[in-house]
Amino acid sequence: MSDPMKPVYVLNGPNLSRLGTREPDVYGAQTFADLAALCRDTGRELGLSVDVRQTDDEAEMLGWLHEAADGRIPVVLNPAAFTHYSYALRDAAAQRTAPLIEVHISNPAAREEFRHTSVVASVATGTIAGFGLRSYVLALQAIAESAE
């Protein structure tokens, strides 16, 4: 019998369900469904069971991070707008018990000044930004290669 695939959460914050229609010059033309399929397919190739979720609700995101911490489940997290101001999200991410990689489709440092600060980065294992949806692929590869 083969080993079960390692679970990974790919958690996405506000407005990411709008991919494909929201500022395609910044976020590209691919949809959230395209992103979810890319993450699941990449996960299968890497031996990961990927659970892709999206919410516009901060409380729901906190619950998912608590669930991941309790289950020692690695997380790929695109906090979206929560990145810049949600100390509650930062505190939930700080409770991680497995790798947590912050991802961004665009490069926040190359955008408006308010996007330059991430309150999550200091508690994440690492941050990958600016590579479009490939940011998620790179994060999943990092998780698959992690020793934890």
Known catalytic residue: 27?
yes
Token pair, residue 90, equals 């930062």
CA distance 142 to 76: 10
107 annotated binding-site participant: no
- Contact 136/103 with Cβ under 8 angstroms? yes
Single-letter residue type at 65: L
Q: Is 18 annotated as a binding residue?
A: no
Q: Is 66 annotated as catalytic?
A: no
> Is 84 part of any known ligand binding site?
yes
Query: Which is the catalytic residue, given 9, 85, 87, 104?
Result: 104
Q: Is 145 helix (H, G, I), strand (E, B) or coil?
A: helix
Residue 106 is assigned to a ligand binding site: yes
Any known ligand binding at 105?
Answer: yes
Residue 116, marked binder: no
Structure tokens at 138: 């790179």
Give me the residue label for tokens 């080993």: 3
- Six-digit token string for 136: 């998620």
Q: Are 63 and 92 in contact (CB under 8 A)?
A: no
- Specify binding-site residues for substrate: 78, 84, 91, 105-106, 115
Positions marked active-site: 27, 104
